[in-house]
Amino acid sequence: MALWGGGAALLAISIAWNRGVMESSVFGVLTVISTALVGFGVLSALHPRPIAKWAIPVLLAQMVRTMLAPASGIAVMLLTDVDALGYFLSLLAVACAMLVGETIAVAKMFGSAARDTAPKAGQEAVA
C-alpha cells in the first residue's frame, strides 16, 4: 500500500519541482502520510486475528484516511502559505494512489477469506 502512495508522491514532487512549487507538494504528501498513520494507528490497536478477518478493519481505516486527507488538507492550506494547485494536486494524487493500493489489498483479503471458507472438493457446505 505504501509503495503506491510513495510512487505517486515521487511523481507529484517531480511535477511540482518543474512548476517551482515543491514545498507545496511536500506539504500535500506529508498531509496524506500523516492521515495514513492515523489509520495505521487504529489498526495497530486491534487484537491479532486471522487474515480473513482483517478486511473490514482495513477498509474502515482506509475510509478514515480518505475522509481525513482532504479535511486536514484544507486546514493545512489555510494555516500555511502554499500554492493551492500544487498542494492539492499532490495531496489528491497520493491519496488516490493509496486508495487504489488499499483497495487491491482489501480485495485480496476478501478473496483469501472466500477461499479459506469454501468447501473443498467432495465436502459438503456447512451452514
The answer to the question of residue 122 being in a domain is no
Full-model pTM: 0.69
The answer to the question of residue 127 being in a domain is no
Output the CA angle 97-35-113, nearest 5 degrees: 60
The answer to the question of residue 44 being in a domain is yes
Domain count, the chain: 1
Domain span including residue 10: 2-113
What element of type H or E holds 81?
Answer: none
Chain centroid to Cα 3, Å, comes to 10
The answer to the question of residue 124 being in a domain is no
pLDDT digits (tens, 9 = 90+) for 9-25: 677 777 777 777 778 88
The answer to the question of residue 123 being in a domain is no
The answer to the question of residue 6 being in a domain is yes
- Low-confidence stretches of the chain (pLDDT beneath 50): none
The answer to the question of residue 119 being in a domain is no
